[in-house]
Structure 1
Amino acid sequence: MGKTVGIIGAGAWGTALASALAREGNDVVLWARNERVADEINRGHTNSRYLPGFPLAESLRATTDCAEAAGGKEFVLVASPSLYLASTVAQLRAVPSVQDGRACIGALTKGFVDSPDGPKLILETMEALLPRCYEKNLVYIAGPSHAEEVATGKLTGLVAASENPKNSIRFRELLCVKGIMAYSSFDVVGVQICAAAKNVIAVVFGSLDALSETSAFFGDNAASFLLAGGLNEIQTLGFALGATHPETFTSIAGVGDLDVTCRSKYGRNRRFGRDLILRGVLSRFSGIDDLIARIGELGYLPEGVVACKFIRQIADRRRLRLPICDGLYRILNKEITPGDFLQQVASAL
């Protein structure tokens, strides 16, 4: 028997997963900020703004009313970008089935969220905003899962991580639809760090990819070198923040998600890295803060830009050596060029 599901956020990933769940007979309502997006999903069963070219399940419904999408649902999945996570989750507090803890809540958002005490992880941020009954009961979902392939039913692996084993299993069972294999994890911190930090490495990887088209110095060997070095930095960051399982970094949440984010043609962070080289997109921004404030001007959202700033803050506080992440920060802050950095990092790794 199908489940009732509310997905909060009609970006590419939220839309693709909503459609995949709806095709399996679940009653799915998708919340969109934009009324045109919601109308198009309801009338044409497409989302040309965020997932163009992919037909959606006809049973999928969309709304601009967050309470309607989440109210009375057995499962609620938050798919808002990290920049808007706090304001989005705050809207859920007024939903009766959230107030009393009936809804099982999961997060698809990748990255960190700013706070007066420094960068916070996604679930940490959500716990502070939701009723206390959700403390240690939220579920974080990640894995190598580009929306474009999920939308067409191509094989995808996901991890549902939670400190509550029952909730992890509930989401794992919900997500095991056609084309998706889901697994449970108790390493909530490790899975969140993998999902956030891999976007930073993917930006650098995209820059390297673009440079390799014109430079005899960079090739496939350098790409794998960078991938391995990036995984080391993700693991260093993860253990510093409380990751509990080494295998998190060598499984689909770690190396799997990192590899697809760096290499896939669908990756927005990889695309941004290439745009740094091929289109000179930094020329209109004064530095990383200006870039984040005006990131909508890019026409797409590379989460690695925001995560890069927060990882720099965490690394400074904890005295972590993360040369790739630090290098991207300096690139985006216009302190160094991508080409110079990549040659420097090759000798530092």
Structure 2
Amino acid sequence: MNQQKIAVLGAGSWGTALAQVLAENGHSVTLWGNNEAQIAEIKEHHTNTRYLPDLVLSSSIQAETDLDKAIADTDAILFVVPTKAMREVAKNVAARLTHRPQIIHASKGLEQHTHTRISEVLAQEIPETKRQEIIVLSGPSHAEEVSRRDITTITAASTNEQAAAYVQKLFMNDYFRIYTNPDVIGVETGAALKNIIAIGAGALVGLGFGDDAKAAIMTRGLAEISRLGVAMGADPLTFIGLSGVGDLIVTCTSVHSRNWRAGHLLGQNHSLDEVLENMGMVVEGVATTKAAKELAEELQVEMPITETIYQVLYERKDIQVALKEIMLRDGKIENEFSIED
């Protein structure tokens, strides 16, 4: 693939790791962020110690706080900012675009209040006259592991097959493998909702439970994710792939996961405020829990695990009481795929 000019918007751990992959693949990369000290560090030392302290960035990566300079004449713009900031950043990008780049995002969440998927936010804020396709980059991945070139496989999702293949070629190398998928709804839904289940998985470990409990919440959590995703229009097969069970496994079993770590602290009797202060970074699953609960009610999809985690996070319900209540729910048929669990 010929060298492409890419702007990566968001200099957190995942944006930094993806910028490194692109640079190692020979592309011209500009990493944009709004923290002047952080961007200065990347420019001067080729490090981003707050997020990836062990990574020395490629000297070819440029860093900018000036959005105009970052996105000028780009072939593609990769959004890797928190969900709550996505709409504002997209508006700012649209106001500055004078050409039509490909739009990629690698964030995971649902917008609060609107329950909108991220690709929909981007489509609403960046008109077709100012962009080409929108592609979702998602799957089981930790920035810490990608940055040390661990083997990783994720998905590029777009309704446009050529656009998904373009992103596949951008990122593919001997440690970072990309598959394509036309099911944007399923890929984004799996990516967002697995963070909720990861909070619950971390909480169970924090409470002292073992592998049986972990298997239970992951398996039944996947059933919830699938039900809501299908109600939104997703292909059910997506949820047994990388963006479903794959992302769920990696997020529910690793200390690299902020959502798992947040749940672990909750299980050890820390308050939500203490947890969020301790993390120092966005825990997407907290906001996604609220959005998913509201969306499930709107679509009449029963999601008992999500409801329970919502009660712990937002209603301050005692976590031991919440766990006992969900375990004592009426018995169900395991394989009945319907809106009732």
Mean Cα displacement is larger for which, 63-72 or 232-241?
Answer: 63-72
Partner of 1:330: 311
Report deviation, 1:335.
4.2
Partner of 1:19: 20
Partner of 1:189: 185
Report deviation, 1:346.
2.9
Q: How far, CA to CA, are the matches of 1:136 and 1:332 in structure 2?
A: 39
Q: How far, CA to CA, are the matches of 1:337 and 1:134 in structure 2?
A: 49
Q: Say yes or no: does 1:231 pair with 2:222.
A: yes
Per-residue CA distance 1:244-267 (angstroms, 9 max, x = gap):
x22210011100001000101100
Q: Does the C-alpha gap of structure 1 residues 143 and 178 become closer, same or farther in structure 2, counting only changes over 3 Å?
A: same
Q: Does the C-alpha gap of structure 1 residues 297 and 266 become closer, same or farther in structure 2, counting only changes over 3 Å?
A: closer
Report deviation, 1:96.
3.2
CA contact (8 A) 1:136 1:164 kept: no
Report deviation, 1:24.
2.0
Report deviation, 1:134.
6.9
Q: Does the C-alpha gap of structure 1 residues 13 and 283 become closer, same or farther in structure 2, counting only changes over 3 Å?
A: closer
CA contact (8 A) 1:140 1:161 kept: yes
Report deviation, 1:142.
0.3
Q: How far, CA to CA, are the matches of 1:221 and 1:143 in structure 2?
A: 25
1:340 to 306, 312, 321: 321
Report deviation, 1:2.
2.2
Partner of 1:309: 290
Partner of 2:253: 263
1:246-257 to 2 correspondences below 5 Å: 246-257=236-247
CA contact (8 A) 1:156 1:181 kept: yes
1:94-133 to 2 correspondences below 5 Å: 94-97=95-98, 100-101=99-100, 103-115=101-113, 118-133=114-129
Per-residue CA distance 1:62-82 (angstroms, 9 max, x = gap):
100112112111111000100
Q: Does the C-alpha gap of structure 1 residues 19 and 135 become closer, same or farther in structure 2, counting only changes over 3 Å?
A: closer
Q: How far, CA to CA, are the matches of 1:166 and 1:107 in structure 2?
A: 16
Report deviation, 1:136.
8.8
Structure 1 gap ranges (5+): 213-217, 285-290
Q: Does the C-alpha gap of structure 1 residues 166 and 153 become closer, same or farther in structure 2, counting only changes over 3 Å?
A: same
Report deviation, 1:322.
0.2
CA contact (8 A) 1:56 1:151 kept: no
- Normalising to structure 1: TM-score of the pair? 0.90
**Aligned residues: percent identity?**
34
Per-residue CA distance 1:219-269 (angstroms, 9 max, x = gap):
2111101100000000011011110x2221001110000100010110000
Q: How far, CA to CA, are the matches of 1:327 and 1:135 in structure 2?
A: 41
1:1-349 to 2 correspondences below 5 Å: 1-97=2-98, 100-101=99-100, 103-115=101-113, 118-133=114-129, 137-212=133-208, 218-243=209-234, 245-278=235-268, 280-282=270-272, 298-348=279-329
* Amino acid across the alignment from 2:145: E
Please state whether the residue corresponding to 2:95 is helix, strand or coil: coil
Report deviation, 1:161.
0.5
Q: How many residues align?
A: 329
Q: Does the C-alpha gap of structure 1 residues 50 and 271 become closer, same or farther in structure 2, counting only changes over 3 Å?
A: same
Please state whether the residue corresponding to 1:112 is helix, strand or coil: coil
Partner of 1:288: none
* Amino acid across the alignment from 2:325: Q
CA contact (8 A) 2:105 2:137 kept: yes
Report deviation, 1:347.
3.6
CA contact (8 A) 1:208 1:342 kept: no
- Normalising to structure 2: TM-score of the pair? 0.92
Structure 2 gap ranges (5+): 330-340
* Amino acid across the alignment from 1:164: N
Q: How far, CA to CA, are the matches of 1:338 and 1:202 in structure 2?
A: 15
